[in-house]
Amino acid sequence: MTFNSLSFLIFFAIVYVLYLSVQHKWQNRILLIASYFFYGCWNWRFLSLIVISTVIDYMVGRKLDASVDKLVRKKWLFLSMFCNLGILAFFKYFNFFTQSLIDFLQTFNLNVNFSTLNILLPVGISFYTFQTMSYTIDVYRKELKPCDNFFDFALFVSFFPQLVAGPIERAKNLLPNVTTERVVTYEKIRRGLFLIVFGLFKKVVIADGVAPSVNQIYNAAGGVTGIDVILATYLFALQIYCDFSGYSDIARGVSKMMGFELMENFRVPYISKDPSEFWNRWHISLSSWLRDYLYIPLGGNRKGSFCTYRNLIITMVLGGLWHGAAWNFVLWGTYQGVILVLYRLFQKKKRRTKNPAINLLAIVFFFQVTCYGWLLFRANSLSQIVQFTELLIHLDTLHSIIHIPSIATLIGIMFLFIFDVISVVHDNAAFYFSYHKVVRSFMYALSLFILFMGMTNAPAEFIYFQF
C-alpha cells in the first residue's frame, strides 16, 4: 500500500475519521493498529521484527533509567545495539557479504560452497532500526527520559506515515507528539493537504515521469552514448530528489493533518555550493543521525586533521552501505567521504564570497560532482560504472537514444524549478502561505492540474523502499 494508491486513500480516510472521533489515548491505539496494518500489507510476517525491536528497546530504556552503574548501563546499551544491528545485518547484508567472500576466494581459484539464503528484505528496516536505536542511545546519554507507556513507545517506533521511508525521527521530537494531547486545526489540515498534493506532484508527475528514461539507459544492454549517460544521470538526480522528498512531503502532510510535526527532510539540496552544505540539505534526518550517533562518537573533528578525515570516510562509507547491500553503494559512500575530505583540505584556503556569479558557478560545478555520485548510486554493477565513466571521458558524439519525458513531466519540472527558486529567495519552504489567497488558489489549482495530467505516467515504487 503506497501513498500514491487508491488503497492508501481509502485506508487513511477510514483511519482519519476514527482518529478525529475519539480522545488522545484511543487515538494512539487506533494509530498503532493502523500502523501495524499498513506495514503488514507488504508482508505481515515482518511485523514480528518491529515488535521484537519495540519490546527490546522499551525494556532497555527502562533498565537504563533504573541503573546508575556505568558498566551495567553499557551492557544494556550493548544488548540493544546487538539485537537491532544483528537483525538488520542478517536480513540486509548476510547474502551480500557471503557472496562477496565467495567471489573473493574464487579469484584465488578457491571454490567454496557457502550457503546463501533466500532472504527477503523487510521494507523500511533501515529506517525504523535507526529510529529506535537513537532512542536507547539518547536514554543512555541521559538526554531523554524513557517512555512509560509501552503502547505509546510502540507507536513511536511504527508510526505509519514515516515508517517505511522516513524521515528518521528522533524520540526527542516524535515521542512528545505521541504522549501529549494533539490539537488538529484548520491551519494544520490546510498545510498538510498542500504537502500531500505537492508530494504527489513530485512523485507522480516528475519522478515517475522521468523513470522510464533513466531505466532505458541504465538498464540498456548496449548502444548507449556519453550524451545518454549525461541526460539519464541528470534525470535520475531529478527522479531521486522528487521521489524521496515527495514521500517525505506526503508523510509530513499526513502527520500534520493529525497534529504531528515531523522534521523537514530536504531543503532544496541542488543549490548547494559544497558537500557540507549538501548534507545539511539532503536527507537531513539520516545525515544528522550519522553525525550525532557515528561521526561525533568516533571523535568528530576533535583529534586533529587525520582523525577528522578518517572519521568522515568511515561515516560516509557506512552511510553508503546503509542504503543497500551492493558495492556501488559502498563506492558511492566512499566518494562522498572523499569529496568531504577534499572540501575540508581546501576550505581554509578558500575565501567565502557574496558575489552571485561566483556562487552560481559553485552551484553549477558542485551539481556536476553530485550527479557523478548519482551515477555511482544508480549503476547496476561496478562494470557499468567503468563503462559509463569511460563514455563520459571519451565523449565523442551528440547522438542520443534517450526517451523524452511527457509534456506533463516537462511542465512539472519547470514548475518545481520556479517553486524552489522562490522558496530559496524567501528562505522559506512555506512561502506561499504569505501570499494573497487568490495567488495561492491559482498555485494550488495549477499543481492539481499538472498532477492530473501526470497521472498517465506509469507508477513506480518509491526508490527508498528498498533501503
Ramachandran class of 112: left when φ > 0, alpha when ψ lies in -120 to 50, beta otherwise: beta
Which residue among 24, 323, 394, 436 is the active-site one?
323
Q: How far is CA 5 from CA 2, 28, 242, in A?
A: 6, 24, 17
149 grid coordinates: 507507556
Terminal-residue alpha carbon distance, the chain: 17
Q: Is 439 exposed, middle or buried (0-12, 13-18, 19+ CB in 10 A)?
A: exposed
323 counts as catalytic? yes
Contacts 24+ apart (CB under 8 A), 322-326: 322/126, 322/130, 322/286, 322/467, 323/126, 323/377, 323/467, 324/466, 324/467, 325/92, 325/93, 325/95, 325/96, 325/97, 326/96
Residue 426 vs residues 114, 229, 336, 421: alpha-carbon distances, Å: 58, 34, 29, 9
3-state secondary structure of 405: coil
Q: Cell 536480513: give the residue.
A: 91
Cis omega before residue 122 (within 30°)?
Answer: no
What's the CA gap between 56 and 132, in Å, rounded? 10
CB-based contact 87:52 (threshold 8 Å): yes
Alpha carbon distance 191, 184 (integer Å): 11
Distance CA 328, CA 460 (A): 22
CB atoms within 10 A of CB 383: 9
Residue whose C-alpha cell reads 549517460 in the numeric block: 229
- The contacts of residue 58 (CB under 8 Å, 6+ apart) are 146, 147, 150, 153, 154
Residue type at position 7: S
Neighbouring residues of 459: CB distance < 8 A, sequence distance ≥ 6: 2, 4, 5, 204, 208
CA 112 to chain centre: 37
- Annotated catalytic residues are 323
